[in-house]
Amino acid sequence: MSNGPENSGDWFTSPLRTIVREPLFQQQLDGLALDHRRIEEVLSGIEYALGKHPEMFRIPGSEDCMVKTYFYPNAPALRILFTYNAVEVHLEAVEFAE
């Protein structure tokens, strides 16, 4: 396997970026008052996907990036806004999704 550019199109070749939870993101997450264990399970899957391929979550026609989770028992649907570069993904904001 090669470590080609981030948009190489090959799902398994992108390096894993470091996930950074910005202070505002963490404050908003804490403010949602969710079951900590369950939401951390959901977020770990999202963080892995974002670490591998954040470009898959760009809003079409925009420079903005967003990922939305599905509703799970004890974990409501969330909308997460983030930015990224070649080595990091910054989780900027989180809110309940509609």
CB 92, CB 22: distance < 8 Å: yes
| CATH (one of 3.40.50.720, 3.30.1130.10, 3.30.2310.20, 3.90.76.10) for 18-96 | 3.30.2310.20
Enumerate the domain spans of the chain: 18-96
Tens digit of each residue's pLDDT (9 = 90 or more) over 76-93: 889 999 999 999 999 999
Give 31-62 as a 3 state SS string: HCCCCHHHHHHHHHHHHHHHHHCHHHHECCCC
One-letter identity of residue 27? Q
What are the tokens at 47? 């963080």
Tens digit of each residue's pLDDT (9 = 90 or more) over 47-56: 999 999 999 9
